[in-house]
Chains A and B, each alone.
Chain A
């Protein structure tokens, strides 16, 4: 019987599966609140979380925080990824550059972006510039490494065939190298975006005055658990939106390289 039910299960990793998961979790949550009688500071009821959410939307504070986080995410992601793609291309092209940049990348890679947060607070105060810096830092390495291995991983036969056909220089880059490397580069960008979203929230935990991360730490310091959970729901929802958007973009740009589930 389980096997038959399993056939109706939405595919792993898909939004439908996530929605189903949310419903299951909601049911468990409702039951826990009803049966366990925990204090609201530990586990508030789903209703109170919803009320908090509605209250924040109506007061306009949610919009302000979401926009702040999105702004920081956008700039950090764009700057970090652009630098990452360029570095990746440079790494793939020149062996000397690769040998030189490699130890640099390998060293700085292990410096956790979140350990930078107190530093940027000292340097930039509560301004968004610091958060953009952290996000860009986080994106850069993921994108650079993936771009480099993407370009290096291109089948050399393709390059040989292209040069035999007389394609070279910019045309080679645009019409042969990029399409071949694009799936892997996009994977890198996908990972970077997910990481960037996490980094924005995390960077706003310390030394911020607005943003979703600031929202939930602020709520925590006032022991407003319902508000914390409302904030988490918004963070998750936006993360889901990004993931779906990226999946669509991926299907449009590289229909020939689908993603596997688990």
Chain B
């Protein structure tokens, strides 16, 4: 939101100090000798270092694989379906009402069903991410595809472009909407990953948090929370960078 500059550096520093200070204060207030319910920052850092040597890399890899796989598959499906809904009347007739209905049932409500269908493995979590990505991307893509500039449409039909070329034109003109959908889906994917792992996890960050909760190891839970936040931040940053390089002519809308 604000670009870093001399005027904002002091408040930013103040914010960091505030977070760490407030955290330590709360840890001190809620201190209990046997049951460490609110570990101070350095204990969490220590736990992080410990976990880094044992299960954290494997958990991060598992969660990443689920998020990435689900996001890619869901986005591709979403773009294809969205294009169909945006441009093909039959698809719009049948698919749009179905999606309008299914949207009311949050993808996260599908977690138990996914477990029943896929067991405890990779797909029970990736399928949720597929659903999340699909719903977000399809809406944005359909909107982008159907609101193609009339001038552009006339131009591409009068130029007698082939089907593939017309598809390319439509895709590019819808790209700003599609990219917004992709970025939102990527952001939402992490929530789906951690939740499905909490319920059905053997590996992954959510599973790590769940085991921490089992042993009342709050530091482990906090490590999970922070690692997940870092992953989300990096994914978002990576996406924006990729968007700038692939589509420099689309003015990236700084996040909200």
Contacts and interface: CB of A to CB of B under 8 A. Distances in A.
Contacts of B11: 96, 99-100, 102-103
Nearest to B16: A103
A239 B195 CA distance: 19
Interface in A127-165: 145-146, 149
Interface string B221-243: 11011101110110010000000
Residues of B in contact with A, size category: 35 or more
Interface in B7-26: 7-8, 11-12, 14-16, 18-19
Given A122-B37, A217-B199, 8 more contacts: A5-B89, A24-B97, A110-B233, A112-B225, A202-B195, A205-B198, A236-B109, A262-B142
A220 B115 contact: yes
Interface of A: 2-3, 5-6, 9-10, 12-14, 17-22, 24-25, 41-42, 96, 98-104, 106-107, 110-119, 121-123, 145-146, 149, 197-198, 201-202, 205-207, 216-217, 219-220, 223, 225, 228-229, 231-233, 235-237, 239-240, 243, 262
Contact of A239 (B106, B142, B218): B106
A113 B112 CA distance: 19
Nearest to A188: B256
Given A99-B8, A239-B104, A262-B139, A232 B110 contact: yes
Contacts of A102: 1-2, 8, 11-12, 15
A228 B116 contact: yes
Nearest to A206: B198
A117 B15 CA distance: 25
A18 B229 CA distance: 34
B29 interface: no
B30 to A, nearest CB: 9
A60 B232 CA distance: 41
A21 B98 contact: yes
Nearest to A2: B89
Give the one of B11, B92, B93, B117 with max A CB within 10 A: B11
Q: Is the interface of A mostly helix, strand, loop or mixed?
A: helix
Contacts of B18: 100, 104
Given A6-B93, A112-B194, A205-B199, A243 B104 contact: yes
Contacts of B249: none
Which of B12, B15, B101 counts the most A-chain CB atoms under 10 A from its CB? B101
Contacts of B47: none
Q: Is the interface of B mostly helix, strand, loop or mixed?
A: helix
Contact of A41 (B1, B116, B194, B216): B116
B161 interface: no
B221 A122 contact: yes
A228 B92 CA distance: 29
Interface string B73-93: 000000000000000011011
Interface stretch (B51-59, B151-159, B162-170, B204-212): B204-212
Contacts of B256: 145-146, 149
B97 A198 contact: no
Contacts of B108: 198, 201-202
Nearest to A43: B117
Nearest to B7: A99
Given A112-B194, A115-B209, A22 B101 contact: yes
Contact of B105 (A115, A206, A223, A236): A236
Contacts of A201: 106, 108-109
Contacts of A99: 2, 7-8, 11-12
B201 to A, nearest CB: 11
Contacts of B209: 115, 118-119
Contacts of A6: 89, 92-93
A106 B237 CA distance: 13
Contact of A114 (B15, B92, B105, B194): B194
A9 B100 CA distance: 12
A112 B96 contact: no
Contacts of B230: 110
A102 B1 CA distance: 8
Given A118-B210, A217-B199, A42 B116 contact: yes
